[in-house]
Structure 1
Amino acid sequence: MDLERIRALYDFNRWANGRVLEAAGKLSWEQLTKDLKNSFPSVRDTLVHIMAAEWIWLERWKGTSPKALLNASEFPTVSTIRTRWGEVEREQRQFISGVSEESLKRVVAYINLKGDPYKYPLWQLLQHLVNHSTYHRGQVTTMLRQLGAKPVETDFLVYFDTVLK
């Protein structure tokens, strides 16, 4: 995977995250926090999981291995999620802007939350995170439908058709 494609993936990822946050912002607090029996109980918990994963991977790319994810209870509203996520995305953009073709091959070593060591090339970790976020945004889309709310399209090609045309 080359740098141009990595940067395009992260531009897409920010766009898609923003669309999902916008849709979630229209929910009532009861809808946002309703247990829908998914991988993460509620829309809020799923959004915080996506954001927390983006944060923890960024930290790992920078050489630290946090011992815990962010806690959903610390983010009671979409506004609080959006504020923290904006900080994560700013740091993420800064990191991605400093990546070179050569550094994509750099092996990143980290310790996961269970204490197990892992090593992967940076390019694989960068691609993994976008894939992870896409997976959980799909879950949010299903949850929005379950709540009777309007889901949003976040497909990669929709991004190209609407943003880049």
Structure 2
Amino acid sequence: MLYTTTQTTATDLSELVKDFAAYNLWANRTMINWLTTKPEALLEQEMTSSFPTIKATLRHIWSCQDWWLEVMKKNNPALTYGEVYTGTVQEALEGLLQQSEELVDYLSCLSAEELQEACEVTIPFTGDFNVPRFEMVQHLVTHTTYHRGQIVTMGRMAGITDAPMTDYMYYVLLAR
């Protein structure tokens, strides 16, 4: 087996981070387009998962993405974990999509140096940290991917079997 080593430049890192955010937007849009074809009652059906409904899981994704974006902007956001979402399914779908677009727009304006700049973040029950923006983006996208997987599983539990493919490699090879 042949292994090669390549050196990653700041520009490469910047392009990768921005593409990862674009992937996140594409995957969320793909999932949202799929979910909008389903009856709202299925998206509000209670089941056993991290969150009780698909709607609540959507709100969690939206809320977390928004929180991390505010941390990256150094706005010191309050953590609202555990809030009860009273909005509609449509509002959750639209909010998540809009927030995903906002993330792409924000990152597109940052330089490679700004993406490597550490921001202070306080995570309850864990502590205070300085985390580079590019690592926050990596966390945000993988966290969202985790919950998109839960939504697919919850959909299957509700009888929805036509989930779209949103894997990163599918995006890289076929969708972008």
Q: TM-score, normalised by structure 1?
A: 0.88
Partners of 2:31 and 2:131 in 1: CA distance: 29
Partner of 1:20: 31
Partners of 1:38 and 1:46 in 2: CA distance: 9
For residue 90 of structure 1, report the CA deviation from its aligned partner.
3.5
Partners of 1:121 and 1:65 in 2: CA distance: 15
* Deviating 4+ runs (over 6 angstroms): none
SS at structure 1 position matched to 2:112: coil
For residue 156 of structure 1, report the CA deviation from its aligned partner.
0.9
Letter of the structure 2 residue corresponding to residue 90 of structure 1: E
Query: What residue ranges of structure 1 are gaps of 5+ in the alignment?
Result: none
For residue 12 of structure 1, report the CA deviation from its aligned partner.
0.8
Q: How many percent identity over aligned positions?
A: 26
Partner of 1:154: 166
Q: How does 1:44-123 map to 2 (within 5 A)?
A: 44-69=55-80, 71=83, 73-77=85-89, 79-113=90-124, 116-123=127-134
For residue 3 of structure 1, report the CA deviation from its aligned partner.
0.6
Give the length in aligned residue pairs: 163
CA RMSD in angstroms, aligned pairs only: 2.0
**Is the contact made by 2:28 and 2:100 (CA closer than 8 Å) also made in structure 1?**
no
For residue 7 of structure 1, report the CA deviation from its aligned partner.
1.2
Q: TM-score, normalised by structure 2?
A: 0.83
**Is the contact made by 1:43 and 1:143 (CA closer than 8 Å) also made in structure 2?**
yes
SS at structure 2 position matched to 1:118: strand
Query: What residue ranges of structure 2 are gaps of 5+ in the alignment?
Result: 1-11
Deviation by residue 1:110-132 (Cα, 9 ceiling, x = unmatched) = 22355942221111111111111
